[in-house]
Amino acid sequence: MTEAKKPEILAPAGDPYSFLAAVAAGADAVYCGLKHFSARMLARNFSISELAGLAELARGRGVRTYVAVNTLLKPDEADKAGRLVKRLMADVGPEALIVQDLGVAAVARQAGYKGELHLSTLANVSSPTGLAALPGYSFSRVVLPRELSVDEMREMAEAAPEGFSLEAFVHGALCYNVSGRCYWSSFLGGKSGLRGRCVQPCRRVYAHRGQKGRYFSCQDLSLDVLTKALLTIPEVAAWKIEGRKKGPHYVYHTVAAYKLLRDFADDASAKKMALEFLEQSLGRATTNYNFLPQRPKNPIDAKERTGSGMPAGKLTRGMKPGQWNLSTRVTLMTGDLVRLGTEDEPGHRIIKVTRPVPKGGRLTLTITDSPRPESGMAAYLIDRREPALMDKLRPLEAALEGLPEREAKPVEFTPAMPRPRKPGRGEPLAISVWRHPDMRKEKGGAFGVWVSTKRAHNLPLGRAASVWWWLPPVIWPDEESEFVSLVAAICSRGGKRFVLGAPWQTGLFPAKAKGLELWAGPFCNIANPLALGELERTGFAGAFVSPELSGEDLLALPKLSPLPLGLVYKGAWPLGLSRVLSGEIKTCLPVISPKEEGLWAVKYDRTYWLYANWEVDLGRHREGLAKAGYAVFADLREPMPKDVERRERSSHFNWEVGLL
């Protein structure tokens, strides 16, 4: 009997020192992003020439390099993405590409990439039936949502096709919303998480029922000793550490910790050492979230600190004007980076420590520019380059400098685009999509209804053939069987037309169902012709495009599309979807941001939906969109709670500001 293969420790790297730290700590693989098409654009990231040397160095030590090309691809970016992939192939030779967009997967195949394609957690494969579809798109691994329990991971593993692998997060920051299902930053002004530019509005202070708190700011994930349970799931081939914006200290200590926990799972002294390493990782307070199904934990504690980094002390005013004293609760080293406050606090800044300060000592600062900090402001140690660690990296630095430089050669790439369909004739179809169908207003013609297991008794099954059945953007493993049964019941009553919340939801349908018309819904984040071509190839009848696109892109896409297109042009668009809600928040009651932006939460089935108190309205552009070739216009009719005041404004989403 051969020993089961150990899962790889997959380390993040956002700069060369972090990459070297991962190698020095014994990572099996390193994932990183480039200056373009990375879902962590706020990290430093790499040039291709820079990454080429690092990947060669790593390969010589048995360490694989995965490159994240995991952003939403806009309609005119296929050639640029293809040239990038060809440069990667020629100069870097990554063992895998991590992608979220079907268009990028198509580009990689066209460019001749022979390595593995890993489907990002941003693509949201959240339930077991979805896995069967993935090899058809050339994927060999999927990154699981952070929200899953270990039992749900086992369910996913049992459903995985032969030879297909899973990747699970074990440590790092948690987003409030489900990855790939957060539009909060984009809705407020064009900076989309799907493009790697999230401004993290979930980390801000909000007011609710007369109290203020960080009601959507999550603690960090840390499975630490619980990872032993993952060793019993051989399909989980990688333990992923989040943190491409972190420094080498974080990377080294987290990799070293999880390598100990993997290799010496039953050794008490190794566990103790691993936990000591994790205490030094300079993150937020941690949680194991939903990992233990019998003891799930809400990752939001509005009373706890939310700033990233190790608490380092508090500021007090000094005796002289502009003088501040930091009374330290940890030892500070020369070169340490300390963050004062959080990003939305007046006086927030990052300082570099210029001299050693012992624990319990005092660091005197001079701050004269405005806005100045307030007395009592918390300070956090966010990065350090301690001599012992840098000594370990120097031999790797020297080896890297000894590698011959690669000459960057120009590459050409012209994507093979799908053949556009001929524009349809006649007026486009307009449908209202209801949570609770108001049959008095929908006496004739087509309309849409959200499929809900909790409201199955209200669904208009008697008119199944004329309804556009909308599946939710997220379906969890513990509710999948209910949706399978409900979809089968709709099909048996003559239901034909379904709008899917993810392309992988095709697995929810009965194998014997005939004559179905499946549309990719707007939460599939479809934004380019190549992705549309992939949908056509796999049998989709149409697609609702992402409303995140700019007006220019929305108007251009129909002429390039092989499928008929739809658009959510009006109604309530969610800021995001989450599996949890702070215990401090009551559903259907207003939550107000510092900028007086109102929002509210409501639960449908097993998912919380977060809405702004103003709607999308592209009505003034509808005629132009119809002329451009859109076949279906959808109005999402979300009932607004009586206690939430509707804001007298509407959003054009990113029509004018564009999608960065």
Read off φ and ψ for residue 350, nearest 5 degrees.
Answer: -115, 130
What integer is the mean pLDDT of 208-216? 94
pLDDT value, residue 651:
83
Residues 6+ apart with CB under 8 A from 269: none
At 248 the three-state DSSP class reads helix
pLDDT value, residue 1:
32
Q: 341 or 40, which is more confident?
A: 341
Phi-psi region of 346 (alpha: psi -120 to 50; beta: other; left: phi over 0): beta
Within 10 A of 366 (CB to CB), how many other CB atoms are there? Answer: 10
pLDDT value, residue 138:
96
Residue 78 scores a pLDDT above 60: yes
Q: Which of 38-47, 262-271, 457-466 has the lowest mean pLDDT?
A: 38-47
The CATH fold of domain 429-573+616-651: TIM Barrel (3.20.20)
Q: Pairing state of beta strands 598-604 and 211-213?
A: unpaired
What integer is the mean pLDDT of 415-441? 84
Q: Which of 94-108, 426-440, 447-461 has the lowest mean pLDDT?
A: 426-440
Q: What is the pTM of this model?
A: 0.94
Q: Domain 310-383: state its class.
A: mainly beta
pLDDT grade for 111, boundaries at 50, 70 and 90: very high
pLDDT value, residue 55:
97
Q: 563 or 426, which is more confident?
A: 563
In percent, the amount of the chain with pLDDT more than 70 equals 96
pLDDT value, residue 419:
96
CATH code of the domain made up of 8-174+219-282+389-400 = 3.20.20.60
Buried b (16+ CB within 10 A) or exposed e, 61-88: eebbbbbbbbbbbbbebbeebbbbbbbb
In the block, tokens 């709709």 appear at 490
Tens-digit pLDDT profile for residues 525-575: 999 999 999 999 999 999 999 999 999 999 999 999 999 999 999 999 999
Tens-digit pLDDT profile for residues 480-525: 999 999 999 999 999 999 999 999 999 999 988 899 999 999 999 9
pLDDT grade for 444, boundaries at 50, 70 and 90: low
pLDDT value, residue 167:
98
Q: Are 415 and 396 in contact (CB under 8 A)?
A: no
Cα–Cα dist 368/351, whole Å: 14
What integer is the mean pLDDT of 216-244? 96
Residue 274 scores a pLDDT above 60: yes
Cα–Cα dist 451/605, whole Å: 10
E strand or H helix at 529, and its extent? Answer: helix 529-537
Question: Tokens representing 196?
Answer: 């790697």
What integer is the mean pLDDT of 253-272? 97
Amino acid at 289: Y
Going by C-alpha positions, the residue among 38, 35, 73 that lies closest to residue 51 is: 35
At 348 the three-state DSSP class reads coil
pLDDT value, residue 367:
87
What integer is the mean pLDDT of 254-260? 98
What integer is the mean pLDDT of 290-309? 85
Bond preceding residue 428 cis, omega within 30 of 0: no
Residue 253 scores a pLDDT above 50: yes
Cα–Cα dist 381/351, whole Å: 10
pLDDT grade for 626, boundaries at 50, 70 and 90: very high
Residue 373 scores a pLDDT above 80: yes
Read off φ and ψ for residue 198, nearest 5 degrees.
Answer: -60, 135
Within 10 A of 343 (CB to CB), how many other CB atoms are there? Answer: 12
In percent, the amount of the chain with pLDDT more than 90 equals 78
Q: Which of 255-264, 365-374, 551-560 has the lowest mean pLDDT?
A: 365-374
Going by C-alpha positions, the residue among 612, 633, 637, 638 that lies closest to residue 622 is: 633
| Counts for the chain of helices (H) and strands (E), in that order | 13, 32
Answer yes or no: same fold for 310-383 and 429-573+616-651.
Answer: no
- Whole-number Cα distances in Å, 45 to 33, 241, 316, 403, 553: 5, 17, 36, 21, 27
pLDDT value, residue 319:
85
Amino acid at 80: K
CA atoms within 13 A on the CB side of 188: 21
At 22 the three-state DSSP class reads helix
Question: What is the DSSP code (8-state) at residue 216?
Answer: T
Residue 385 scores a pLDDT above 70: yes
Compute CA 507 distance to the chain's CA centroid, rounded to the nearest angstrom.
Answer: 23
pLDDT value, residue 501:
98
pLDDT grade for 659, boundaries at 50, 70 and 90: confident
Cα–Cα dist 214/582, whole Å: 9
Cα–Cα dist 240/280, whole Å: 18
Read off φ and ψ for residue 475, nearest 5 degrees.
Answer: -130, 125
Q: Are 326 and 317 in contact (CB under 8 A)?
A: no
Residue 2 scores a pLDDT above 50: no
Cα–Cα dist 562/74, whole Å: 16
Which parts of 374-492 are beta strand (E)?
378-383, 429-434, 447-450, 467-470
CA atoms within 13 A on the CB side of 401: 6
Tens-digit pLDDT profile for residues 148-202: 999 999 999 999 999 999 999 999 999 999 999 999 999 988 889 999 889 899 9
Structural domain boundaries of the chain? Answer: 8-174+219-282+389-400, 310-383, 429-573+616-651
Q: Which of 300-314, 617-631, 639-653 has the lowest mean pLDDT?
A: 300-314
pLDDT grade for 106, boundaries at 50, 70 and 90: very high
Average pLDDT for the chain: 92
Cα–Cα dist 638/573, whole Å: 9
Question: What is the DSSP code (8-state) at residue 46?
Answer: B
Cα–Cα dist 309/371, whole Å: 22
Which parts of 105-261 are beta strand (E)?
116-119, 141-143, 165-172, 206-208, 211-213, 220-222, 236-241
Cα–Cα dist 25/517, whole Å: 51
